Amino acid sequence: MGYSILDADGRAFEWSLEGAEQKNFGKTKRIFHLPNGNFGISHEDVLTAFDNPDFTAQALGKWTVSAYSSAILFRRIEEAGVRTTHRGFINSNTTEESPLEMLPFEIIWRRYNVEGNSWEQRNPKQVPIGQKYHSIKYEVGLKWSVIDEQTGEECTDPFMMLDENFQPLLTSQGLPRLVHQKKGYEITYSNIVHPNKKENISPDTLRTTIEQYKQYASQIRTMAEKVQEVTFDTYARVGRLNADGKIEVGFDQEGNLTLGDELELDALRNVSLSKFEIDGQEYEFDEDALGHNLHNILKRNAWDIDRIILARHSGKQAYRDLVKPWGNFPMSETRKAANNLAGYEVTNGIYLPTAQALSRRFGQEVGYILRAA
């Protein structure tokens, strides 16, 4: 695909970040401001399950998987006509990205109903777990929190109510109508809060941001459609279904709508198929299902596939399942070691095999990096 994280001598790129100013440290990555005006996204060996890096411990090797996965998907998405920020590798876990004025929204697509997802919590038992939705669902979440005037709760990542044109419905105050991420009721609010900085955001700032979103609503919807199509096609080649995912967008220095942040395996939920029968023919997949083309099978009888998908094979879900038995015990060195082992197993059992769908070179290059680390 035109990407490599090995130099001509077969060694990993280790270009220096000297002179780069660290701007931010998120749950799974560090952001650096580079001397040339671009940014470096340096991925960490951290799972986002439970949204607590101290608890989720280390997923050894996930840093390389994340950087490489995001880079390869961005290249394929660019080939489909979508602008991205990606500019290449700095080292084996750090990519270079052009600057972007981010919009505070997450655009989500849902193809299959995955257990525990927020749509299922808002619409319980409307679609059986593991089955395909009648049509792909697109939603937009606000990345700013609001304070529920009825309960006093800080509601994180609320969803905007949209019309058939992907335009937000507004209150009489010109603010977007929002629903609770999990409970599904409409929130009455006037206070808006930045969830990380814990700073208040004025209603006028939100109104201005919504007006900006409205101008590009159609383009944002089209971008999300293209991204999910590329993502589905990528994993269908190896017998994995992309069940859902999310993207973030913004404007580049010329004012063009651009895909930003990252698109790696914490932003995508891919479900694996194990063993099933269609029209008398039995199909059996390994965990990574390498060598099978799911498109051909889907053309024969998609409903048979719907019946057998459990949709529990994301890294987050696997990690939660592994650590749940000792969740009520106090944190200790033994428990930390168990968390580390769970993270390592998830990286090798789910993230690494899933990411092999992205490139024939993936196994060779990432394998080299992990052996040398």
Give CA–CA dist 248/194, Å, rounded: 17
In which residue are the tokens 């696997």 written? 318
- Distances in Å between the alpha carbon of 290 and those of 34, 69, 239, 271, 370? 38, 16, 7, 14, 21
Closest CA to 205 of 249, 240, 174: 174
Query: Which pLDDT score, from 0 to 100, does residue 187 have?
Result: 98
DSSP states of 44-96 as a string? -SB--GGG-HHHH-B-TTHHHHHHHHHHHHHHHHHHTT--B-EEEEEETTEEE
Query: Which pLDDT score, from 0 to 100, does residue 1 have?
Result: 41
Query: Which pLDDT score, from 0 to 100, does residue 200 have?
Result: 95
- CATH code, residues 21-100+252-273+309-372: 3.30.200.20
- pLDDT (tens place) for every residue of the chain, 373 residues total: 456 777 767 777 777 787 788 877 777 888 999 989 999 999 888 887 766 666 666 777 888 888 888 888 898 899 999 999 999 888 888 999 999 999 999 999 999 888 778 999 999 989 988 888 999 999 999 999 999 999 999 999 999 999 999 999 999 999 999 999 999 999 999 999 998 778 999 999 999 999 999 999 999 999 999 999 999 988 887 777 888 999 999 999 999 999 998 887 778 887 767 777 777 888 777 655 556 778 888 887 777 777 666 655 577 778 888 888 887 888 888 888 888 888 888 888 777 777 776 766 676 777 666 666 5
Q: Are 277 and 308 in contact (CB under 8 A)?
A: no
- Distances in Å between the alpha carbon of 62 and those of 202, 311, 317, 362, 366? 38, 21, 16, 13, 10
The total of other beta-carbon atoms located within 10 Å of residue 103's CB is: 21
The total of other beta-carbon atoms located within 10 Å of residue 368's CB is: 17
Give CA–CA dist 35/19, Å, rounded: 7
Closest CA to 109 of 23, 201, 252, 222: 222
pTM of structure: 0.87
Q: Are 6 and 19 in contact (CB under 8 A)?
A: no
Query: Which pLDDT score, from 0 to 100, does residue 182 have?
Result: 93
Q: Where in the chain is the domain with CATH 3.30.200.20?
A: 21-100+252-273+309-372
Query: Which pLDDT score, from 0 to 100, does residue 373 have?
Result: 52
Query: Which pLDDT score, from 0 to 100, does residue 17 have?
Result: 81
Phi, psi angle pair for 312, to nearest 5°: -125, 20
Query: Which pLDDT score, from 0 to 100, does residue 86 have?
Result: 92
Query: Which pLDDT score, from 0 to 100, does residue 227 have?
Result: 96
